[in-house]
Structure 1
Amino acid sequence: MFKFQTITTKETYNIRHRVLWPDEPIEYCMMTEDDTAHHFGGYIDQKLVCVASLFPDGEMKVRLRKFAILPHMQKKGLGSKMLKEIQTFLSETKISTLWCDAREAALPFYIKNGFLPYDDVFYKNGIPYQKAEYKVLPEAP
């Protein structure tokens, strides 16, 4: 059974490190902005298996960053479950837009979950990315 809940910044570090930067020291996954973010965890059988952080980006937007799922739990629908929970959480706030820098390889996953890509492809550390956004609140007519 999947359980979604708010977690602390510290609770994100192990999975961020193992999934996103395993070849770097754990400090590499710590961000100075972490204290301004809202952190979420996804649990299976009471074990934390995925994390995501939402960083404020202006008055009506938040940025999804450091979204990571343990390798042995990937491709099981947990990422979609996490995004649905985050989207539900945001629908109860005044946030209008959720956006992220999506790795090009993950773009189909984000599109499947209601995100729309925008802007040109850009590179970080040789990896292609594209910005993608999800409209939490529909545009006013």
Structure 2
Amino acid sequence: MSRPAPRQLWLIDDSADHHVVTAATARRADWDFTGFHDGDSALAALAAGGRPAVVLMDFFIGEERGDLVTAAWRQLEPAGYRAIIIGFSSVRAGSLRILAAGGDLVLAKRGGPDGINPDLLAWLTAKKPKAGTG
């Protein structure tokens, strides 16, 4: 059975600024971080065997849309593995479309004055992913 890598966080977002904030937040919460600037490369990494526990999904990813990437992700997931996909868009309606396409929850995408996303930090600190359940 494929299992997600414990405490492995992937971000799919075309904004370098959001990668910086998310990477710093992940480090603070003691999570491993991998960033993708487009959905196609993240889907290729999934197809090649990548198994993150959590995926943060932006809605507008360059020419791609996060809801369509989410739907494609769910189609590619092997039996016994399910990542937690979080709608992580600056536009709440985009996050809700990710949720409707197979996402699991929505978190605010923002950075605090210390360069950390407080909502993401609180969620990552509280979350203890269970292998194989996403």
Structure number with the higher helix fraction is: 2
TM-score bucket (shorter structure): 0.3 to 0.5
- TM-score normalised by L of structure 2: 0.40
Larger of the two Rg values belongs to structure: 1
- Structure number with greater CO (CA < 8 Å, separation at least 6) is 2
Structure number with the higher strand fraction is: 1
